[in-house]
Structure 1
Amino acid sequence: MRKPLLRLWAAGWLVAGLSGVASAQFGTPQQSVPLTDLSAFRPTGAANWKIAGDVSADLNQKEVLTTGAGSGILVNQPDPKNRANLQTAFEHGDLDIEFDFMMATHSNSGFYLQGRYEVQLLDSWGVKSPSTGDVGGIYKRRELPSGRMYEGHAPRVNAGKAPGLWQHFDISFQAPRFDASGKKIANAKVIRIVLNGVTIQENVELSGPTGGPISEQEAAVGPIMIQGDHGAVAFRNIKYRSYAGQQPSLTGIQYKVYQPTDADNFAKIPDFAKLKSTGGGNGQEVTWDVANQTNNFGVVYTAKLNVPTAGDYQFFLSQGGTARLKVNGQEVVKESWNQPGGYRTGKVTLPAGEASVEIAYVKRDEWVRPALGVEVEGPGFRRTTLTAPASMLTPPATDPILIDARENTITRSFMDYFRDGKRVKRIVHAVQVGSPEGIHYTFDLDNGALAQVWRGEFLDATPMWHDRGDGSSRPRGLVVALNDSPAFAVLSSPDQAWTETAPAEGGNFVPKGYDVDEAGLPTFRYVYFGGDVQDVIRPAEGNKYLVREITVKKPAANLYHLVAAGKDITELQPGLYAVDGKSYYVRATGAKLRKSGDRQELILPVSEGKIKYEVLF
């Protein structure tokens, strides 16, 4: 009987989730699908698949992709005579795969795990309530022979971008399981799908193949198949980890429990050989709870680790108190005090066979909750736990404090600004503007910048309002970082460098706040270089894009507005620009594209006192 653990369960403590696909996959090297030619795929006998060096879509032409010479991009351009599906030469079971893809306007395709389970690819730009057929949906099953469609799993939100923009998928898949006789004993499962940084599917069990598979018969392995008979689509940067290795396990688990002789005994891990144990025995699993108390105890576990494959192994240790991990007598994770949740790691090379494991754990601080967790990853298997899941208990999750934009909504908060996955700064005078159409943005009052836009739900205000809070909120959906540079500059010539220094309030820049119209939407007002500015940003065509219209009364001579900045900007057609590797579009008539240091910039002259452009993503 383990009363402390039972009391914690009764108090509402929860089991911490395993790290799973979020780990670095130390023991399983990532492989890339070469796209210099089609040798990574099985021959199709059709000409719809090709290798290209560049690709783009026309927003006004359905199912058309234009390609450029070179390599690195896989493109499907079907026609009535060439519409073959494409299968990889390799087959997979458990798999983590990621790739970039681009949809043509109004195009449709599908990405089949094991050639049997379709993750939908579709131009879903502007769809507010996605279905199983929209991008990121797990397509329906087909009942045979009737043809009736059933099941299917719609994505949580539409995290898809506009056609012609590069999008990114991360998919983690678990293959069906079979016994020795070939009978299926467990369904396939989509562990997680992340589209453009937004988790849209989790722990979805697949009862059987979806419509259009290579076979209705399930199997332990199968190829990736990409639909080629529907519409134009392109892929690049296809990378995967395939898991076929056996997971290690602990056997011969034994433990000893110790009590301190004075208050300082367990400030660090003692020499247990000099202490008399107060209990012990054989265990079926590793858990701190064998101590039968929540404080002032020590536990030492010894066991044998079954090492199925020689290679590099990475161990992860988390605890509430002080712990260390030894493997074959080597201190792999060094002794340290910690609170539960954060894992410390260590690496070791192991031969196949058995390895000795010793886990030492002491706890003396009443205010720290007891916890002990050990995880491992290595050749051919996902990160897995070696301890009882209940040994890593976490307190009940904080109920999220969410702000929905059922009507036009304005919220003031701090906002962390990210670029390329890295936090650049915290915008302290940020205004978050949400619309019921599902397209939202952050405006930086410190420099008049449209810093970021996102599509989906509005705000997670938990960091701002829970407990003492830190004043910040977070977007809930597909976020596209624009630029947070000063909005205006006076340039002696169109080639003069743009300043990145925030304007000094009361000098060339004077913020005037904003007015709210009858619809609940703001008009931002400020003064730049003596000119009174009215800045109006509004959704257009539902949740497809934003229109920004800026009016400047008595603009200074040679005044310019920074429309966009990025590593690269390409003019695809007159007035339409793709920014930062085709991550979003800007439509701006009369803009000047220029090089500035290591980036490109799109600027608009303000000589007529009014400018207008669109941000599409």
Structure 2
Amino acid sequence: MNSFIVFKHKMEMKQFLILALLLPGLTLTSAAQEPQRAKPEETEYYSPVPPVVTPGAGFSDAPSDAIILFDGKNLDQWINSKDSTAAKWTLGDNAMTVNKSVGDIQTRSSFTDYQLHIEYRIPSNITGSGQARGNSGIFLAALPWGAGGYELQVLDNYKNTTYVNGQVGSMYKQAVPLANASKKPGEWQTYDVVWVAPKFDDHGILKSMARVTVFHNGVLVQNNTSLLGDTPYIGQPSYRKHGAAPIKLQSHGDKSEPISYRNIWLRLL
């Protein structure tokens, strides 16, 4: 046999033996380095159990854990903002209508973080233009100083233009809405709001800004918006330490026909 062929055969046999010895070791090393297989149970937990809440029959109906602020029957949950006497807006057809001779009204109770549902109607015979057309406002936390709180604007902006940070769906003079979802005057419209109040430390230093999410007629118009402070008509927003606060409905000073509210409920968060 040719000596070269013998040499080549021996080298191949040697390489085969080396691989045969090494491969089991390599297999063992890989197995040792493989992480232990996780079990699905390791990422499952069963407490705390969320509370059971029964939804309303329709989207606008109050769920089982809601606080009813107005059901069309009476104004027991509301007081006049000026003097804290019983609210004197006009009741009729399961709604309450702004009484401009009385002024603003607000809830008897105070709240911090909540989910709010409220419906309003601009009168079909509305007159005026710009800010003087169906103007009102929902103060998500009413304060006795400065701008009076944090106002979610209510206004007729169906074919009625005004400054965009003052149109319906805006956090007044501060946050422009993402869309104009206005319905025609005479139709009931809805706001669904998630309000997270600002938090302060014991020295009055702001720890976290107020945040608000708003759906107007089912359309998202404020998406977890952070506020720089209250919502003044003139000047810049600012914060001052406060805790839980009432919700206020505005009786605006313009001369247009007064608007109405109905079906107001709230869930604490």
Q: Is the 8 A contact 1:93 1:220 kept in 2?
A: yes
The structure that is helix-richer by fraction is 2
Q: Is the 8 A contact 1:129 1:157 kept in 2?
A: no
Q: Distance in 2 between matches of 1:182 and 1:31?
A: 30
Q: Distance in 2 between matches of 1:94 and 1:25?
A: 20
Name which of 248, 253, 264 aligns with 1:225: 248
Q: Is the 8 A contact 2:156 2:168 kept in 1?
A: yes
Deviation string, structure 1 residues 439-482 (Cα, Å, up to 9, x no partner)? xxxxxxxxxxxxxxxxxxxxxxxxxxxxxxxxxxxxxxxxxxxx
Name which of 55, 59, 69 aligns with 1:33: 69
Q: Is the 8 A contact 1:189 1:204 kept in 2?
A: yes
Q: Distance in 1 between matches of 2:171 and 2:102?
A: 22
Deviation string, structure 1 residues 170-199 (Cα, Å, up to 9, x no partner)? 000101112244422111111x10011111
The TM-score normalised by the length of structure 1 is 0.28
Name which of 103, 108, 111 aligns with 1:89: 108
Paired residue for 1:393? none
Q: Distance in 1 between matches of 2:51 and 2:248?
A: 26
Q: 1:31 to 1:48 in 2, by over 3 A?
A: closer
Paired residue for 1:171? 193
1:229 CA drift (Å): 3.0
1:38 CA drift (Å): 2.1
1:204 CA drift (Å): 0.8
Instruction: Give 1:177-188 correspondences, 5 Å limit.
Output: 177-188=199-210
Greater Rg by CA: 2
Instruction: Give 1:208-287 correspondences, 5 Å limit.
Output: 208-211=229-232, 217-230=240-253, 232-243=258-269
Query: Secondary structure at the residue paired with 2:168?
Result: coil
Q: Distance in 1 between matches of 2:52 and 2:141?
A: 21
Paired residue for 2:90? 50
Query: Secondary structure at the residue paired with 1:92?
Result: coil
Q: Distance in 1 between matches of 2:194 and 2:99?
A: 28
Letter in 1 for 2:264: I
Q: Distance in 2 between matches of 1:154 and 1:216?
A: 20
Name which of 134, 155, 165 aligns with 2:177: 155
Q: 1:138 to 1:181 in 2, by over 3 A?
A: same
Q: Distance in 2 between matches of 1:175 and 1:25?
A: 25
Letter in 1 for 2:261: F
Q: Is the 8 A contact 2:204 2:241 kept in 1?
A: no
Deviation string, structure 1 residues 112-156 (Cα, Å, up to 9, x no partner)? 01111100000111257971111111102xxxxxxxxxxx11111
Paired residue for 2:211? 189
Paired residue for 2:168? 135
Letter in 2 for 1:41: W
Paired residue for 1:273? none
Q: Distance in 1 between matches of 2:97 and 2:188?
A: 13
The structure that is strand-richer by fraction is 1
The TM-score normalised by the length of structure 2 is 0.62
Letter in 2 for 1:42: I
Letter in 1 for 2:153: Q
Q: Is the 8 A contact 2:228 2:239 kept in 1?
A: no
Q: Is the 8 A contact 2:157 2:182 kept in 1?
A: yes
Q: Distance in 1 between matches of 2:166 and 2:52?
A: 31
**1:120 partnered with 2:153:** yes
**1:202 partnered with 2:223:** yes
**1:77 partnered with 2:70:** no
Structure 1 residue runs of 5 or longer lacking an equivalent are: 1-22, 54-71, 141-151, 244-617
Query: Secondary structure at the residue paired with 1:132?
Result: helix
Identity of aligned residues (%): 28
Q: How many residues align?
A: 187
1:36 CA drift (Å): 2.1
Deviation string, structure 1 residues 476-496 (Cα, Å, up to 9, x no partner)? xxxxxxxxxxxxxxxxxxxxx
Q: Relative contact order, CA 8 A, sep 6+: which one is greater?
A: 2
**1:103 partnered with 2:122:** yes
Q: Distance in 2 between matches of 1:25 and 1:97?
A: 19
Instruction: Give 1:338-417 correspondences, 5 Å limit.
Output: none
Q: 1:118 to 1:25 in 2, by over 3 A?
A: farther
Letter in 1 for 2:154: L
Paired residue for 1:255? none
Deviation string, structure 1 residues 211-235 (Cα, Å, up to 9, x no partner)? 26xx973412100011113351111
Letter in 1 for 2:53: F
